[in-house]
Structure 1
Amino acid sequence: KVALNYSSGFLPLRTAQKQGYQQILWLFGDDMKVTEAGAMNIFIVVRRDDGNVELLTPPLDGTILPGVTRDSVLDLAKGHTSGETIIPGLLPTLHLLAQERAITMVDLRRWSSDGKLLEAFGAGTAVIIASIGKIGYKGEDITLPVHEIGIGPIANAFRTRILDIQEGKEAWRNWSIPLDELQRLQ
């Protein structure tokens, strides 16, 4: 990432903030594909008819940056669903069907009106996980469910697990190596 990646977003961000939003949802193309939220990758959590949950994020098709935190969330979701790990705060039986696929504003509106839009969150190195409360589009707000602690249970579970890994409280797939172990290897 370089500074030029962000400079074009300053004016639109200020405009959005004047309208009461904290960040910008970047859209692409005539079909208004969701790409990123500010400088973060975006995840959408949708309830399926079978009771499972889809964890959706746009694909790496050249329009978004391949974020490390994005990859971490996808890896942890797949590990939770396969039973390799249990993410605290999530039921062990919850199937998080992580998918990289195009998401449009039509999709978001439909899921919201059908009551299937459970959560949306941004993922990035600086913020780790940031919950999204509402999305403004064409003069209307898509309001996401309000959660008591200000972040949805799935977003919070990923945030907690990633922080625990970063702080050395949990281990996962050799993402971190204790310094004393590293010194022994040298």
Structure 2
Amino acid sequence: MIGIYMQNGAQIASINASNALYLFWTKCLKLIVINNVGRVLLYDALGKLLKTSTMGEETLSVGLSDAKTFSYSNETGLIIINKSGHFFVVNSVTTPLLWRILSDSRNLTCWTVITSCIKPTRVLLCSKNSFLIGEQETCSFQPCNFPWAKTEGQYTKWNWIMTNVNYYFYTTQKSCN
């Protein structure tokens, strides 16, 4: 059961959402509920169901591994990885048009979505310290190199905030002081 409350603690709504794995709020205060097989339920701030959709038939059959939201123009997008390791993306949860990026079999240590007004939505993957990038137009991942990338250790988390990528790097290498 999911409860929606006001700041003063008064309950606005109660939502019965079985097998819910992820909850997100959109930019326009709609609640996104994603269950374990990639079924997406969109509610308004008062708990009224607005839309149901899925993140693909494949995800319905194999299940969901991870999910994130991202801002795209004036919309909130959604990206998931299913248990087969495939990425499914919608640039807008209110008008979902599902697209897929095939991934390779590398073990991911982190990933994020990069959006831009002038370029298609892109997904940046990292496997330890190797990078791959995939975009909406190509629907596949390609290796990419960054001049700032470190080679000893591994990247463990990405955050994309507007025009900046913040990353967390882990290494067991001792510093020389």
Higher relative contact order structure (alpha carbons within 8 Å, sequence separation ≥ 6):
1
TM bin (shorter chain): under 0.3
Structure (1/2) with the larger helix percentage: 1
TM-score normalised by length of structure 1:
0.27
Structure (1/2) with the larger strand percentage: 2
